[in-house]
Every structure is written in structure tokens, then in C-alpha cells.
Chain A
Amino acid sequence: MNCGEIDARVLIIGYGNPLRGDDGLGWHAAEALRKVLDDPSIRIDTCHQLVPELAEPVGRADLVIFIDACCDRPPGELGCRPVQATGTAQSMFHHLDAGALLALAAYIGGKTPRAYVITVGAESFDYTEQLSATVAAVVPRVVETVRRLIHA
């Protein structure tokens, strides 16, 4: 992801480790979204972790959608929640969470966009570039959720 040059109305960030099975959900979803979303004002990107360098492009967007696998839902269960900027983050520097990233974006002069996190419960984090069948089956619903958020 070339953080310094992103300037999009809608920013979609799929993140996680694409070599660890379902942790690559964000990357697979991003690939699926690129096939159906053809709008120059929408930018779809992937990264391993949310890093401070994302604060500038986040602060320029009107809508930011984060996509990631999670461990706190049953395998294959999809969740979508709005996320607020959290000024006092309880997160690790090496992987800022979405709320901390929004806060950082606001602090350094950007706007606070509408933001959502889409998560899917993971079934397996094995060493593979493939999603489990359970999670792979949910990718179309992730795509539909993103489209709904964009047109809301």
C-alpha cells in the first residue's frame, strides 16, 4: 500500500496475514471487491497491519471500511459495526486498531470519516494462502455489506 499517495472518497482496507489461512480474509475480500467496484473515487488496499502511515489517507476519506478476520465470533459469522475514534487507545503500536487510527488521523489534521469494521469469525490460522471453506463462503456477503455501506 502506497500510503502517501492515497486520496480517495471511500477507502477500503483489508488487513491481516495472507499466509495464515483465514487471517487473509481482508486480502481475499479486497480481491473480490476489486472485481465488482469500478469507481475511481473508491480505493481498495491491503496491508498486514494498520500502521500510523495510514492516518493521512484515512483523514482524507469520507468513508473508511476495515475488513479483518476475528476470533471472537463463531467461524463464518459476519459482523459489521461502526467504529469511533478512540483518543486513548488500548492497542499495540505495531498494529494500531481502527479506533486509534481514526484518532490519529483526526489529531494530525484530517477529518473523522464514517468508519466501519467488517469482521468474520475465523476457523483456521494454518500456514496457507487459502481461506477455509467456511470463511470463503462468506466473502460474497462481505462484498455485499461493503456495497451497502458505500450506497447508504
Chain B
Amino acid sequence: MSRQITINPVTRIEGHGKITIHLDDRGRVTDAFFHVTQFRGFEKFCEGRPLSEMPSLMARTCGICPVSHLMAASKACDQLLAVKIPATAEKLRRLMNLAQLTQSHALAFFHLSAPDFYFGMDGDISQRNILGIAAKDPQLARDGIRLRAIGQIIIEMLGGKRIHPAWAVPGGVGEPLSVEKRDKMLAMLPEAMEIAERALGWFKRKLKDFAEEARTFANFPTMFMGLVTPEGGLEHYDGFLRIVDAKGNIVEDKVPTDRYQDLIAEAVEPYSYMKFPYYKKQGYPNGIYRTGPLARLNICDHCGTPKADQAWAEFRELERGAVLSSFHYHYARLIEIIFAIEKMAELLNSPDITSKNCRARARVNAYEGIGVSEAPRGTLIHHYKCNEDGVITWGNLVIATGHNNLAMNRGVLQVAKHFVDGEKLQEGMLNRVEAVIRCYDPCLSCATHAVGQMPLHIQLVRSGGEVVDELRRD
């Protein structure tokens, strides 16, 4: 008789989700699903709002990556105004985008995932959190707190607030950068780089302890999608869409971002509020692809900054062709932090970074606008239509995490099949099922995680509803 295991909530991720694992009567995993249990509705309630509100409104989608929404929304509104923003404005937007990448990746690595690496997947649950790390390795905890803080301080210096800064606006940015603030930012970057390199070294030494996880965590062939520069380099703000296959061959290249609908479509499933984007030419669900740090490092021909390029070259030696294991999202995240720090230094040293010319002004000149940027978790698409008064009439958001939905579901099944023994439920098995989701650092908004005592209730339920086994941790 079939049985079902439910993990609810999934811990140490941003947002609310649950996992169900289906077993046959011999306790073998037959299927597994990642359910996203939140409904946000942003696409609907932005209708009727003036385009000037869109960046700030859309930033409220999330408290961890609001800057990503600011960028994509502002870019879409730039198209509605039909303006080319000043060069300084683009640099400043890039600067904030990279600062956000730094703080978000730092959160994902140090706070959400490092507890597993430090204590092991089977480590004592009461310690497997940032407080546990702080007690055993204060330097590691301090590094995580400090690196995230540096990213947030830069965001706050630019936009006035750490979270939901109302600064990126249609046509540019609302406030130029002063010389004083520029110098303060530059002064923080060496410390950030020291932390990032230390973390990368630590993680590379840990890799051998997680060979089995690297082999089995969503390690399957998929395509990868993201933005690249016109020269094929690592890109987070603008550029063109590129898709590569599992062997690393380019499948689509130099696709203008406003033609994203030529490449991808979205399906829905009854068990999740998150949509399932797929590559149209291969249909659903064969058109599975991944985005985010792993994808960006797989699709690019180089990073474009010296330390990141060196780290990237070593990373690409993990496999011939594309690096396929989703476990290596963690590795890719650290390389992206190094790139972000180098790139921020480059931008801050630009002669025009403190120019006061940072906004183009215009009325509505187009009725459709598409803004695409790379959020920490993947490609983010904001697509709006407006009327002649600049009032939004329609909006479509393709969220970064959504691109990975098919891959997350397949990854959960792969890990469950490998690690879960339905006859003997153990905490470590279920932590690994959660941990594969954490590789993607999904942003389902509103993280929940219990530090110290994580409430968890797992039930084995017969198809008729009878509870045959349960694990409880209060």
C-alpha cells in the first residue's frame, strides 16, 4: 500500500514550501514534489498603478532581494519612457545590484547552508544553525555577518535604506553618489574580498566530505540560461540571453531580452502556486533548464575580473562541459561574490561614478516595456503594458526561482530516491531532501527557520489516511 512523507515547512530557505515524498509498500520512493504554498498576486494588483510606482511596488515582492525587482522594474519602465539612461545611472544601478548579490549570497552561504557543511548533514539539529557555528567557529560566523553587512551598507549608502530602497526609478536613479560615500565604499571592499576568499578556501577544503551529495544533489543533464555580456562574459544587469546545453554547447545566443517569450513559456501544476517555466522548443517538461549562479558560470566564456576568472577556471574543471550537480551552486555563489567585489571596485573607480547626471526624464512613449536582470537566484523578468496615461494595464513576472522549479522538483526526487529509506525515517535523510532545495537558494519570500529547535513533524500516511509512523521535533 502506498505511503506519503511530508516535510512541512522546508527549513533554511526564503519562503514557505513543503515537500511530499511518496513511497510504495516496500518503502521505496516512487515520487516527490516541492510545493510552494504561498500566493502573492503581484501581477494582478499592479494593474491600475502609475508606472512611476512600479519599482518601489515591485520591490515589495521580497525583503531579501528587493533590489533585483527594483532593477528589472526600472528597466521595464525605462522602455515605457523610451529613454536611454545616463551612463552614470547605469553604473550606479549595477553597483547596487552587485552589492545585493554580495549580501544575498552571503546570507545563503553562511547562514542557510554553512551549518550543513560545518556540522555535516547528520549533525546535531540543535547546533546546525548560525548560532551553532558562532559557538564553535566565531570567525566563520563573524565573516558571514560582516560580509552581508558590507553589501547592505553599500545598498543603504546608495538608496537610503537596506531594504526596499526607493532609489532606482524610471529613467535612472533618484540620487547621485557623493565622493565621500564612494570613498567609504571603496574602503570596505578589501575586507569583503578577504572574507570571500577565506570562505572559498574553506568550502573547497570541505568538498571532499560531500562527494556523495555532489554526486546526487540534482545532478542530471539540463540546459542553463542567463544573461551574458555582448562578449560572452559574466553579466548581472544587462546583456543578452544565452542558453547552453548540458555539454556546454550554445543552444541560443545573443537573444535580446525583450524576446524572452521566443525562448520560454510557463506551465502550471495543481500542486504548487509557483509556475513552471520551460524552453519552448523542447516542450514541457523536456525543456527543463536552470538559472542562477551555477547557470551563469556555465553559460559564460569568462567572468571578466582577475580573481573571479581564476576561481571560475578551477570551477569549470569539475566536469567536462557544463557543471551539472546543483550542489555546486554553493561553490558558484562564492565565485560570484568575488566577481561582485572586483566589479564594484571597478565601478567605484570610474571617473564619472559621482556625476550628478543620473536620470533621464520623459513621459510615456511606449506602451510595452520589458526589463530583465540577473537576481542572485537567476534571471528575473518584468514585463509591463501601460496606457497613454502611464497607468499599468498588465504585468507578467517571471521570477528567478521559478525558472528552477522543474529542476528543484526533479532534484528532490533524485535525493529522496537515494537517501530516504521509507522503513526507517531519520533526520539526516530529510535534511538532505531539504538541502537540495537550499542549493538553489530559492526565494519564496519570508524565510522561516528555527534556530536551535526547529519544529518539524513528519508523518507517514497510508493512502487511506492512517498515520503509520511519525517523527516529531517540537
Chain A residues in contact with chain B, CB under 8 A?
1-5, 48, 52-53, 55-56, 87-94, 96, 100, 103-104, 107-109
B29 at the interface (CB under 8 A from A): no
**Bound Cα distance from A91 to B453, whole angstroms:** 7
Min CB–CB distance A31 → chain B (angstroms): 17
Contact A93 B149 (CB under 8 A): no
B448 at the interface (CB under 8 A from A): yes
Number of A-B contacts (CB under 8 A): 85
Min CB–CB distance A126 → chain B (angstroms): 19
B148 at the interface (CB under 8 A from A): yes
Contact B446 A94 (CB under 8 A): yes
Contact B153 A104 (CB under 8 A): no
B281 at the interface (CB under 8 A from A): no
Contact A107 B135 (CB under 8 A): yes
Q: What are 8 residue pairs bridging A and B, where the CB atoms are less than 8 Å apart in the complex?
A: A4-B153, A48-B63, A52-B148, A56-B146, A92-B451, A93-B448, A107-B135, A108-B145
Chain B contact residue count (CB 8 A cutoff): 32
Q: Of all chain B residues, which has the CB nearest A105?
A: B134
Contact B130 A52 (CB under 8 A): yes
Given the complex, which residues of A lie within 8 Å of B126, measured CB to CB? 88
Q: Of all chain B residues, which has the CB nearest A3?
A: B149
Contact A104 B449 (CB under 8 A): no
Contact A89 B452 (CB under 8 A): yes
Given the complex, which residues of B lie within 8 Å of A96, measured CB to CB? 451
Q: Of all chain B residues, which has the CB nearest A53?
A: B149
Min CB–CB distance A29 → chain B (angstroms): 20
**Bound Cα distance from A52 to B449, whole angstroms:** 13
Contact of B451 among A4, A56, A100, A108 (CB under 8 A): A100
Contact of A94 among B129, B142, B448 (CB under 8 A): B448
**Bound Cα distance from A108 to B130, whole angstroms:** 11
5 tightest CB-CB pairs across the interface, nearest first?
A107-B134, A93-B449, A108-B142, A89-B452, A4-B149
The A-contacting residues of B in range 1-53, CB under 8 angstroms, are 12
Contact B153 A93 (CB under 8 A): no
Contact B138 A107 (CB under 8 A): yes
**Bound Cα distance from A87 to B156, whole angstroms:** 31
Min CB–CB distance B104 → chain A (angstroms): 13
Given the complex, which residues of B lie within 8 Å of A4, measured CB to CB? 146, 149-150, 152-153, 188
Mark B426-469 against chain A: 1 for CB-CB distance below 8 A, else 0. 00000000000000000000111111110000000000000000
Contact B446 A55 (CB under 8 A): no
Q: SS class of chain A's interface: helix, strand, loop or mixed?
A: mixed
Q: Which of B131, B148, B152 has the most CB of A within 10 A?
A: B131
Given the complex, which residues of A lie within 8 Å of B150, measured CB to CB? 4
**Bound Cα distance from A10 to B400, whole angstroms:** 42
The A-contacting residues of B in range 85-142, CB under 8 angstroms, are 111, 126, 129-131, 134-135, 138, 141-142
Q: Of all chain A residues, which has the CB nearest B474?
A: A90
Contacts A53-B149, A104-B134, A108-B134 hold; do A91 and B141 have CB atoms under 8 A apart? Answer: no
**Bound Cα distance from A6 to B138, whole angstroms:** 20
Contact A104 B131 (CB under 8 A): yes
B296 at the interface (CB under 8 A from A): no
Contact B129 A104 (CB under 8 A): no
Contact of A53 among B131, B134, B145, B188 (CB under 8 A): B145
Min CB–CB distance A8 → chain B (angstroms): 16
Contact A93 B138 (CB under 8 A): no
B162 at the interface (CB under 8 A from A): yes
**Bound Cα distance from A5 to B157, whole angstroms:** 11
Contact B134 A56 (CB under 8 A): no
Contact B448 A56 (CB under 8 A): no
Q: Of all chain A residues, which has the CB nearest B126?
A: A88
Q: Of all chain A residues, which has the CB nearest B157?
A: A2
Min CB–CB distance B199 → chain A (angstroms): 15
Q: Which of B130, B145, B453 has the most CB of A within 10 A?
A: B145
Q: Which of A3, A52, A56, A91 has the most CB of B within 10 A?
A: A52
Given the complex, which residues of A lie within 8 Å of B130, measured CB to CB? 52, 93, 104
Contact B135 A87 (CB under 8 A): yes
Min CB–CB distance A80 → chain B (angstroms): 25
Further pairs besides A92-B448, A94-B449, A104-B145: 12, Cβ < 8 Å: A2-B153, A2-B156, A48-B63, A52-B145, A89-B452, A90-B450, A90-B451, A93-B447, A93-B448, A94-B447, A107-B135, A107-B141
Q: Of all chain B residues, which has the CB nearest A57?
A: B149
**Bound Cα distance from A148 to B152, whole angstroms:** 34
Min CB–CB distance A50 → chain B (angstroms): 11
**Bound Cα distance from A104 to B449, whole angstroms:** 16
**Bound Cα distance from A67 to B438, whole angstroms:** 33
Contact B451 A109 (CB under 8 A): no
Contact A108 B141 (CB under 8 A): yes
Contact A53 B448 (CB under 8 A): no
Given the complex, which residues of B lie within 8 Å of A94, measured CB to CB? 446-449
Given the complex, which residues of A lie within 8 Å of B138, measured CB to CB? 107-109
**Bound Cα distance from A90 to B153, whole angstroms:** 29
Contacts A1-B162, A100-B131, A109-B138 hold; do A53 and B148 have CB atoms under 8 A apart? Answer: yes
Contact A56 B145 (CB under 8 A): yes
Given the complex, which residues of B lie within 8 Å of A53, measured CB to CB? 145, 148-149, 152
Q: Which of B126, B153, B448, B451 has the most CB of A within 10 A?
A: B451
Contact B111 A93 (CB under 8 A): yes
Given the complex, which residues of B lie within 8 Å of A93, measured CB to CB? 12, 111, 129-130, 447-451
